[in-house]
Amino acid sequence: MESRTDLNMLMDHVLRTAREDDLWLPHDTIVVAVSGGPDSVALLHVLHRISLQYVPLHLVCAHVHHGLRAESDQEEELVRELARELHLPFEGVRIDVPSYMKESGKGMEEAARDKRYAFLHEIAQRYGAASIALAHHADDQAETVLLHLLRGSGPGGLKGMKIKRREKNVELIRPFLRIYKTDLLGICEQNGYAYALDSSNHSNQYRRNAIRLDVLPFLGQYNGQIRQSLIQLADIAGMEDDYMEQAADHTYHDLVQHKGGRLYFKAPSFLALHVALQRRLIKLILNYLSAGIEITDFHKIELIRQGIIQNKSTTWSLDIGGGLACIREYDMIWFMQKPPEQSKSYTYELQTAVPELFIPEIGKTLKMKVQSPHDRYFSEMAGSCAEAVFDAGQLKFPLTLRSRLPGDTMKVMGLNGSKKVKDIFIDAKIPPSVRSRIPVLVDGSGNMIWIPGVRRSMHAAVGLQTTSVLHMCLEDTAVEQL
């Protein structure tokens, strides 16, 4: 838009933007954030005229007194008088930014923004408002994109601010985001709108001011249209980012499954995705688990992605931070709010075969029965379970069912010598999170004779000379957690 734009043209532009981006509906209540500067003063006047002439809207004028400058009192009175002149409700608050800075450890700009938005949301909730209108304009957008670029942002940051974004059940709307500041100043001057000038805008001690006062003018020596170029970049990046978000959402629903409050997918399916979608999918999962707190750390996301695509290790665990963890178990990639808890150690000694033994530490039941070699086994009666048969006459009691210990070994049937239980688990591709719920059975001589559902040892094998068989079955009696 050219700086000669008059008020009617500006209203037409805002109305067109509102239709294209669904900024409001008739009779919506809108909280308008008014600092007293020319941008927000123009916004309140324009929305007020629109509400009288085109779309009935209920406007609330909201002002935050930051208490950081001598002229803050005058600005507050200017905005209060403007609301009175337009017959609009006025809501103001005085905030203590320095105290919040000490409490939160945040810088001046971030602390002031936090308190300002908290107040605006409070007013929106009190009035049942559909949206909060902010006076950010095209120059602000250019500064935001460049600021994000200098911080090392990805595509999500290059899109800058959105014209409409939902936050805490309220829409944040920016009707002026495609209007340049010179046009807004012109509107105020042409129509005699009183406004205040913020003296701190001329200090480059604040990062955004430094971008506006130093960096953009310097870049303007090489590209006279630098602001327009950055705004165009924001538009392109915004549309493409929206498209990628939709693609990531579709991929999420196709690949990711839920179980016990955890999310998981299969590595081969993930590897078939384009790198851009791989990163988006990881980010989407982390944001879901972090209850909507957006995680944008590229290095963290890339660390997870590299762990999935490399083939050097089949199992690993990564503490992501923030109470989140990512675990790989062979072809399964798990995301969870905390690593799986290890089962408590336990030991049960059996002097003789017992019909049933419940092991509460792992939520399983051991069933035992002495039978003839010609009898049918439990599996035909009890359904699927981890089972094994032994020559009862060759077994030495007492038997001990216990949790696995470091260094445990077993003489595996068909293999000369002993093998570490850890290696047996690895060979059988038993996920680490499952291993803690698998007990081991040891005979009276201290020989490990059975790892239920995995392997049995060479001891007490059933043969032609066997006259009685001890049949054992370990089955679940509680819902699996993983």
Identify the bridge partners of residue 364 per DSSP, sorted by sequence position. Answer: 359, 476
67 has a pLDDT exceeding 80:
no
Q: CA dist 189 to 43, 182, 184, 257, Å?
A: 14, 10, 9, 59
The pLDDT assigned to 3 comes to: 39
pLDDT for res 383: 40
Write down the pLDDT at residue 339: 52
**Where does the pLDDT of residue 480 fall: very low under 50, low under 70, confident under 90, or very high at 90 and above?**
very low
Residue 96 sits at φ, ψ, to 5 deg, of -100, 90
Cα 431–chain centre separation: 25
Same CATH fold assignment for domains 7-234 and 256-336: no
Mean pLDDT of 406-435: 83
pLDDT at 359 over 50: yes
Q: Which of 45-49, 218-222, 320-324, 345-349 tops mean pLDDT?
A: 45-49
> How many alpha carbons lie under 13 Å from residue 467 in its C-beta half-sphere?
2
How would you class 166 by CB atoms within 10 Å of its CB: exposed for 0-12, middle for 13-18, buried for 19 or more? exposed
Residue 72 CB-density burial (10 A; 0-12 exposed, 13-18 middle, 19+ buried):
middle
pLDDT average, residue stretch 63-78: 87
Q: What pLDDT does 295 receive?
A: 62
Name the average pLDDT for the chain: 87
67 annotated binding-site participant: no
Between residues 236 and 375, the one the model is more confident about:
236
Question: pLDDT category, 361, cuts 50, 70, 90?
Answer: confident
Is 345 labelled as part of a ligand binding site? no
Residue 260 assigned as binding residue: no
* Domain covering 7-234 in this structure, CATH number: 3.40.50.620
* pLDDT tens by residue, 248-285: 999 999 999 998 888 999 999 999 999 999 999 999 99
Question: Is 38 labelled a binding residue?
Answer: yes
Q: Would you kindly state where each structural domain of the chain is located, as residue ranges?
A: 7-234, 256-336, 347-476
- What's the whole-number mean pLDDT along residues 371-396? 72
pLDDT band (50, 70, 90) for residue 137: very high
36 annotated binding-site participant: yes
Q: Among 1-5, 279-283, 474-478, which stretch is predicted with the lowest mean pLDDT?
A: 1-5
Q: In terms of CATH architecture, what is 256-336? A: 2-Layer Sandwich (3.30)
Four-way CATH pick for 347-476: 3.20.20.10, 3.30.465.10, 3.40.630.30, 3.50.40.10:
3.50.40.10
Q: What is the mean pLDDT of residues 307-326?
A: 79
Query: Is 39 known to sit in a ligand binding site?
Result: yes
Percent of the chain with pLDDT over 90: 52
